Amino acid sequence: MRDMQTLRSTLMVSLIILGGGITVWAQPSREQEEFGPVVSAYLGYLRNEQEVVDDRASRREISATYYRRNSNRIRALRQMAVEIARNTQNDYLPELEAVAGDELRLIFERPPRLQTLKIGEVLETRFRYLGVVRSSELFYIFARLDPYEQADFRQKASVAPLNTAHSVAPGPLSGAKASVRARRVTTP
């Protein structure tokens, strides 16, 4: 008799959980209504990543420290993605990287000084600094530039020294830069 009551209780709890899951699955989430398909897909990706981290933690495959750091990182990426999507009203997100202060070497050959970072600054012609997000710990968020943007910044960086090498000394044009043209040689 007691086994039957336990079985009935377990069955009822399972049905309630299953019924709630079906209801949640059938209803579109607020994010799907608020954001376009690209942003919604990215937020879904972050949800899946959190599930993977939760699963690995439940099987004791990862340490508590690793679990906390990655859960916080996912939360920081989510917060920045939602902020970008809401501020731009655009269904586009750059490739985002979230690193803690002690992880900057993972994405930079020569890590920048944290105190000197400015929002919008491009670093190593590969990343744009977007800001910092506190998710139990500080995460510095960077957007990876697409290959075209990287090429553009590399080109500007290679041209900039040429222009400054040919700048005019202060004088009547103060602050203006003149281009130096090679003298044309003509043969008679």
DSSP conformational letter for 134: E
Cα–Cα distances (Å) from 40 to 25, 55, 98, 122, in that order, read 15, 22, 19, 27
Distance separating the N- and C-terminal Cα atoms of the chain: 117
Backbone angles phi, psi at 142, to 5 degrees: -125, 145
Q: Spell out the per-residue pLDDT of the chain, length 188, in tens.
A: 555 455 455 444 444 444 444 434 444 456 667 899 999 999 999 999 999 999 999 999 999 999 999 999 999 999 999 999 999 999 999 999 999 999 999 999 999 999 999 999 999 889 999 999 998 899 999 999 988 888 887 888 777 654 443 333 333 333 333 333 344 444 55
Identity of the residue numbered 81: A
- Taking each helix axis from N to C end, the angle separating 64-88 and 37-58, rounded to the nearest 10 degrees, works out to 170
Please give the Cα distance from 99 to 76 (Å, whole number): 10
The pLDDT tens digits for 61-79 are: 999 999 999 999 999 999 9
Single pTM value for the model = 0.66
Three-class DSSP category at 124: coil
